[in-house]
Amino acid sequence: MKSLHDLDTEYHFKTYKRYPVTLERGSGSRVWDVNGKEYIDALAGIAVNNVGHCHPGVVKAIQEQTGLLMHTSNFFTTEPQVDLAKKLVEISNHDRVFFCNSGTEAIEGALKLAKRYANKTGKKGNIISMSGAFHGRTLGALAMGQQKYQDGFEPMLPGFEQVPFNDIKALEKAMNDDTVAVFVEPIQGEGGVHVADKDFMTELSSLCMEYKALLIFDEIQCGVGRTGSFFAYEQFEVVPDVVTLAKGLGGGFPIGAILATEKAADVIEYGKHGTTFGGNPIACRAGLATIDAIFKEGMLRQAEENGSWLRDRIRMEMPGEPGITEVRGLGLMVGVQLDFAGAGVALRMLEKGVIANVTATNAVRLVPPLNISKDELDTVVDAMMQAIQEERKHQTEEKE
């Protein structure tokens, strides 16, 4: 009999280089494969399971809602959608919310908002993004991203340009009265877990106000409590015109959202944007339960304290491991920079019962559930250090 892994290889598009593991169930910071092997999940579905796998409150909310109402279309109002929109406005600095189904949909919606803003204000310039950015895999998002994701999908959509991340002078040179909008990730996840400089964000906000360009924060990976505040922008003491959310917002259930100030949201009138499934009752109940768990269970404090502890714990190991050159991040979004290609490190960690991944070729990315314990994080670090040592030795021997 063929394994699930073999059947997946036979029938699914060849779009993923999957780990040789088939997962069956999860609880908290742990998952189990079909053979019963247990893993600590330090990746959390790529920053999705912020409240842990199958959080009881999220599961209960989804179960209750599926027995009441699953889908209506947006011709109708539903209580879960209204409640979640109200909650997000109350905990943010924004006035309106649009719901969708994923991060890249939120980005495309924000791009449409920016284009509409340009048309209504007469701006003819570009939308600016940052080098090293990742905003998704649809065409608008690709136009703001890295070359490696654009290859094979040319020509890219016009009207976009990039400036180096954290480079104030380059930003000042690029912006003018015709600049439409600037998209920025407060922490670049796929780019290697690089944190924006606070001075850069302050100047970016000032320039957007000066040139009346929209400031749009992509918090799809770094939002929903991951940095130790619910929104990452709170860490930088600036308020963007627009924020995109997804990943962790549904506690594992697909949902995306665009938050905007009244000024920004006002450009999208009746009929200018829409969605069939976005804001469906199940997703919104999941979102409400996720937010409730984050605040009631003190997960913001846990993310801040455990994230700081985790980075310090890894730095303590650095003198004995020359393969690590830097540890960076905010809250429980941590990047461990290696001086060699790191794909093998993630596989070795997996063998040791820890799930992580390597992004930007040589940065180990750790984005565990916000409520992961210090004991579990200790195990993660031990497994990672062993994997780094083994893989570095292996690559050195191969070169000899």
Residue 273 near residue 106 (C-beta atoms within 8 A): no
Dihedral over Cα of 16, 22, 26, 31: its sign: negative
- When computed from its CA atoms, the radius of gyration of the chain, rounded to whole angstroms, is 21
Residue 32 Cα distances to 272, 315, 350, angstroms:
45, 30, 12
Tokens 């495309």 found at: 108
Contact (CB, 8 A) for 249 and 279? no
Cα–Cα distance between 43 and 331 in angstroms, integer? 14
Q: Which contiguous run of DSSP H or E holds residue 149?
A: helix 147-150
Q: Which residues contact 296 (CB under 8 A, 6 or more apart)?
A: none
Q: Which residues are catalytic?
A: 134, 218, 247
Residues whose CB falls within 8 Å of the CB of residue 138, separated by 6 or more in sequence, listed in order: 104, 105, 107, 108
In terms of C-beta density within 10 A (0-12 exposed, 13-18 middle, 19 or more buried), how is residue 131 classed? middle
Query: Nearest CA to 350 among 379, 387, 314, 382?
Result: 387
